[in-house]
Structure 1
Amino acid sequence: MVQGAGPAQTAARAEYLRAVLGPGGPPDGAEGLALAALVLRGVGHLPVELAIRRLPGLRVEAASRVRAAAAAGRGLREGAGEVEAGAVEPSHAGFFAVDVHRLRHRRFDGSLSAELVREVFVAGDAVTVLPYDPVRDRVLLIEQFRMGPFGRGDPLPWQLEAIAGRIDPGETPEAAARREAMEEAGLVLGRLEKVAEYYPTPGAVTEYLYSYVALCDLPDGVAGLFGAADEGEDIKGHLISFDRLVEVMASGEIGNAPLLLTVLWLQRERARLRG
């Protein structure tokens, strides 16, 4: 509830919440509270029909916010503390979403910043996983069309990547990695080795990635064509040796941060994994 809201405004917000989530309301627990708060951002900005269409993404975002709240605390980072944030305004709700934030934050010299108006591209937490066969010393990459390179004007907007996908509500990052490997490559993964977890584009995007290398059996013929038809996916597998992987990276053909980071990690840990 907004502080100071009158009875009519409170009733309108409650009605909006019921219309979007149904009579059962949000689920119990932290994710449910986060979901309700995200839905209520749409009051006065998004029609109910559009909010309902955005609901699957809001569920993913709510789960992401719960994981964010449990993130690592201070170490080297000092931060300046206080953030004065106003109401968030949803400005676009499509395949992805864009929110407008108005805020001020404490600066390192102790002063308070001027009001900042910033658009944030909303994308939920996701995983990447690179299948690695330590016996045959080979990996499986996937290739697919990507809108980022296309929008930049790249004449070849297909990317070589690790297997990747969003983490569903109620799902762990590890479970998401195993599900995505089956969906995008037909693979059953063995032991997962965490590479890192990180914001790939913290200046403007909420996305947070959990990257893994997975020990896996990769015999000849395992690479194929996969992808979820209802999501418009068209995915081709590439089965290559570790040495060829390093050559492709050195040539500049790998152009996305999660795979670059994972290959560098695998270079460091390969002897241990093969042992």
Structure 2
Amino acid sequence: MGTDNSAGARIGVDVPDARGRVELDREGRDLVRNARVRILGVEVLASDWHVLRKTTYEYTRLDGSRSIEHRETYDRGNGATVLLYDLEHRTVLLVRQFRYPAYVNDHADGMLLEAPAGLLDEDDPATAIRREAEEETGVTIGSLEHVLTAYMSPGSVTEVLYFYAAPYTDADRSGRGGGLRSDGEDLEVTELRFDDALAGIRRGDIVDAKTIMLLQWAALEGPFASGS
């Protein structure tokens, strides 16, 4: 995927890829924030939708010796997620969807229960998660609380995920949800008792990391924490 057949031109580097992008090999070349790391080269391996790069760098180890390292990084952009909760009825609103990577890696059917989430695209995190929550669950978010920010798989994926929480009531459910069919989304909106959702983590019914993190935050220091 990294090379075009026309005179050796490289897709996403010398000529536009499917999304019109070029010079994707420039990402990271100018990094100088860490004096122990010197970037030597960046190669685009694939850019069909998101971007897979192979970066070569010189790394100064703790003992002062230097080594040449190679790392593949998957750049899918940054994202945001939200835990929608109804404090009065002690419920949370999740979505169930098919996840092929989980399916191919031993999950029974690939159908995962998750907190609503999506990529930022060109929006700020709060705007993006309001958009995604409405598309996926039909809920129009009012007040929104930032919970935390985390790198979800820093060994290989560049994504930063912004975590939020927001209350909802029946009055906030202005649409059907289910995601955008034009984007290939096919989501089942699922309302669960909060205690059942927590138990679902222990049973292995909820195995999505961002959802587990939000549910445990809600139990430990969020809206369902004892004494809150």
Does structure 1 residue 91 correspond to structure 2 residue 45? yes
Which residue identity is paired with 2:16?
Answer: A
Which runs of 5 or more structure 1 residues have no equivalent in the other structure?
A: 1-42, 70-78
Does structure 1 residue 217 correspond to structure 2 residue 217? no
**Partners in 1 of 2:165 and 2:22 — Cα distance?**
27
**Partners in 2 of 1:234 and 1:160 — Cα distance?**
13
Deviation of the 1:196 alpha carbon: 1.3
- Contact 2:18-2:49 within 8 A present in 1 as well: no
User: Number of residue pairs matched?
Assistant: 215
Which runs of 5 or more structure 2 residues have no equivalent in the other structure?
A: 1-7
Q: Which residue of 2 aligns with 1:256?
A: 208
- Partner deviation per Cα, 1:73-128 (whole Å, 9 max, x = no partner): xxxxxx9732111231111111332111111122222322x211221111100001
**Partners in 2 of 1:231 and 1:136 — Cα distance?**
33
Deviation of the 1:222 alpha carbon: 8.1
Q: Which has the higher strand share?
A: 2
Instruction: Select 1:116's aligned residue among 63, 69, 78.
Output: 69
- Partner deviation per Cα, 1:14-57 (whole Å, 9 max, x = no partner): xxxxxxxxxxxxxxxxxxxxxxxxxxxxx953267963423479
**Partners in 1 of 2:142 and 2:227 — Cα distance?**
14
* TM-score between both structures, scaled by the size of structure 2: 0.82
Query: Which shifted more, 198-207 or 90-99?
Result: 90-99
- Contact 2:12-2:23 within 8 A present in 1 as well: no
**Secondary structure, aligned partner of 2:127:** helix
Percent sequence identity over aligned pairs: 29
- Contact 2:14-2:23 within 8 A present in 1 as well: no
* TM-score between both structures, scaled by the size of structure 1: 0.69
**Secondary structure, aligned partner of 1:54:** coil
CA RMSD of aligned residues (A): 3.2
**Partners in 2 of 1:243 and 1:132 — Cα distance?**
12
Deviation of the 1:188 alpha carbon: 0.6
- Contact 2:80-2:120 within 8 A present in 1 as well: yes
Q: Which residue of 1 aligns with 2:57?
A: 103
Query: Which shifted more, 157-166 or 185-194?
Result: 185-194
Within-5 A mapping of 1:156-175: 156-169=109-122, 171-175=123-127
Does structure 1 residue 45 correspond to structure 2 residue 10? yes
